[in-house]
Amino acid sequence: MARKTKRLPWMVAQEYQLYDSYTIEGKPERSAGALYGLVGAPKGITKKIGEWNNTRILLAPLSRGRGHLQFWLNDTRTVDIVIDHAPGSEWSKLINKRNAETKGTKFELPAEFFKTEAGPILLQDHGARVAFRNIRIRKLPTVTPSTAPKAK
């Protein structure tokens, strides 16, 4: 009998990329402000080490299990996408493209990626010094399609 692998929270949720994009140049989808591996952030918006970057992450619930995800880094919107698991949606196309490129690796996204309604918020580093301040979290009401902001 096959064992079902338990997915850790970081394996099934989106990741707002924190990275020193000021001194280290990399792929846009892995730079600060990116939706890691899916949507790249523009160059030149991060601050120097020692200065505070300002981040905003907004996931507004929409009807029919969808969500409107937006990221900002230092007042520049870096991500604006509707999370919609329907076949053919922009979101599904992004997931399928990434999975085609990462098939069989740890970066391939599982079928349950970003389908939970609640979960932990994780802050992660990879051995570098990192600091956070003024973190605020609040629950937003579901937005009806007529009042939902349009994704670009």
The region, left, alpha or beta by phi > 0 then psi within -120 to 50, assigned to residue 37 is left
Q: Are 122 and 130 in contact (CB under 8 A)?
A: no
H-type alpha helices, the chain: 9-12, 90-102
pLDDT (tens digit, 9 = 90+) per residue, 84-122?
A: 999 999 999 999 999 999 999 988 888 888 887 777 777
Instruction: Provide the pLDDT for residue 20.
Output: 83
Q: Write the CB contacts of 9 (distance below 8 Å, at least 6 apart in sequence).
A: 119, 120, 122
The domain segmentation of the chain, as residue ranges, is 13-83
Measured CA to CA in angstroms, residue 15 lies from 11, 54, 113 at distances of: 9, 16, 11
Among the listed residues 29, 118, 35, the one whose alpha carbon sits nearest the alpha carbon of residue 82: 35
**Prediction pTM value:** 0.81
Q: How confident is the model at residue 127 (pLDDT cuts 50, 70, 90)?
A: confident
